[in-house]
């Protein structure tokens, strides 16, 4: 069975991820059986990665067995689905600096899921997490200098040929600029740092003024 299922219902796409820990919910998602295997519903209105997959991010971008450095894990809503996607042979290294949400991430996600390693740390200083090379860096920290932070993490920890997935919240970078201009500027920064930008996926109607930049190095 696949770790990601896509189902069409009433003209809408629904995503499901295979539950790494059957019987356990992470938030209030539904648990559903498909051919005797348990899946969790993955709501694109609650997860920018789910929205991006529905809007065209190739499904295998985060695949079975991938090692993923996840910056901005928050309480772990999306990180838990990434943990489902990579499965028992993969690894999710989750970095979060806000103590309250980091505690929830550690208790509800990392303690329960054997493939999740939490770091309560500032993503501005990747030397603080003892991690070996990863296949994917996923960055969703909503900071004005997030692209520079993502690049610094990739320089230190992303393997050659690896993938950077950068969530851009236009209003966190410049509230006055047109979001399309902000997306183009962040794209340029990545290209200037040697990344090949494969696509820039705007996340409306799921998230306003957000885009996900999919790139490789
Ligand atoms: N990715 C999450 C999800 O989809 O479930 C939502 C992430 S939320 C938009 C951004 C998170 O990044 C917040 O929890 C915030 O505390 C964290 N964050 C912001 N700057 C950070 C930094 N420099 N280092 C680590 N975490 C940071």
Give DSSP secondary structure letters for 91-123.
EEEEEE--HHHHHHIIIIIITT-TTEEEEES-T
In the chain, how long is the greatest CA-to-CA distance? 51
Beta bridge partners of 168: 211
Residue 143: count other Cβ atoms within 10 Å of its Cβ: 17
Q: Distance between CA atoms of 157 and 142, rounded to whole angstroms?
A: 20
Q: Would you call 211 helix, strand, or coil by DSSP?
A: strand
- For the Cβ of 115 lying below 6 angstroms from any atom of ligand 1, the answer is no
Task: Indicate the Cα dihedral angle 164, 165, 171, 175, nearest 10°.
Answer: 30
The tens place of each residue's pLDDT in the chain, 217 residues long, gives 899 999 998 889 999 999 999 999 999 999 999 999 999 999 999 999 999 999 999 999 999 999 999 999 999 999 999 999 999 999 999 999 999 999 999 999 999 999 999 999 999 999 999 889 999 999 999 999 999 999 999 999 999 999 999 999 998 898 999 999 999 999 999 999 999 999 999 999 999 999 999 999 9
| Separation of CA 35 and ligand 1 centre (Å) | 35
| Separation of CA 120 and ligand 1 centre (Å) | 11
- Tokens of residue 132, six digits: 């070996």
| Separation of CA 71 and ligand 1 centre (Å) | 7
Which of these, 61, 27, 33, 63, lies nearest to 45 by C-alpha position? 27
pLDDT value, residue 206 = 97
pLDDT value, residue 1 = 82
The sheet that has 31-34: what strands, in order across it?
4-9, 12-18, 37-42, 31-34
Is residue 95 within 8 A of residue 123, CB to CB? The reply is yes
- Tokens of residue 124, six digits: 């501005």
The pTM of the full predicted model, rounded to 2 decimals, is: 0.97
- Phi, psi (degrees; rounded to nearest 5) at 98: -85, 120
* Mutation to probe ligand 1, out of 72, 74, 98, 169 (largest number of atoms < 8 A from CB): 72
| Alpha-carbon Rg for the chain in angstroms | 16
Query: What domains can you pick out in the chain, each with its CATH number?
Result: 44-216 (3.40.50.150)
Beta bridge partners of 212: 167, 201
| Separation of CA 115 and ligand 1 centre (Å) | 20
Residue 89 gets which letter from DSSP?
Answer: T
- For the Cβ of 74 lying below 6 angstroms from any atom of ligand 1, the answer is yes
For 36: left if phi > 0, alpha if psi spans -120 to 50, otherwise beta; the answer is left
- For the Cβ of 123 lying below 6 angstroms from any atom of ligand 1, the answer is yes
Residue 87 gets which letter from DSSP?
Answer: -
pLDDT value, residue 95 = 98
Is residue 80 within 8 A of residue 68, CB to CB? The reply is no
């Amino acid at each position: 069975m696949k770790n990601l299922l896509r189902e069409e219902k009433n003209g809408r796409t629904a995503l499901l991820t295979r539950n790494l820990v059957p019987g356990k919910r992470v938030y209030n998602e539904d648990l559903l059986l498909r051919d005797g295997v348990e899946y969790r519903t993955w709501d694109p209105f609650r997860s920018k990665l789910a929205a991006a997959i529905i809007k065209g991010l190739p499904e295998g971008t985060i695949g079975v067995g991938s090692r993923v450095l996840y910056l901005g894990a928050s309480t772990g809503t999306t990180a838990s689905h990434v943990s489902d996607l990579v499965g028992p042979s993969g690894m999710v290294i989750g970095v979060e600096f806000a103590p309250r949400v980091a505690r929830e991430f550690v208790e509800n996600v990392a303690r329960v899921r054997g493939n999740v390693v939490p770091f309560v740390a500032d993503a501005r200083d990747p030397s603080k997490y003892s991690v070996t090379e990863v296949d994917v860096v996923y960055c969703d920290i909503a900071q004005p200098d997030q692209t520079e932070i993502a690049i610094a993490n990739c320089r230190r920890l992303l393997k050659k040929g690896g993938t950077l997935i950068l969530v851009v919240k236009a209003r966190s970078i410049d509230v006055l600029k047109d979001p399309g201009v902000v997306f183009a500027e962040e794209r340029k920064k990545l290209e200037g740092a040697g990344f090949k930008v494969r696509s820039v996926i705007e996340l409306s109607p799921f998230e306003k003024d957000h885009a996900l930049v999919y790139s490789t190095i």
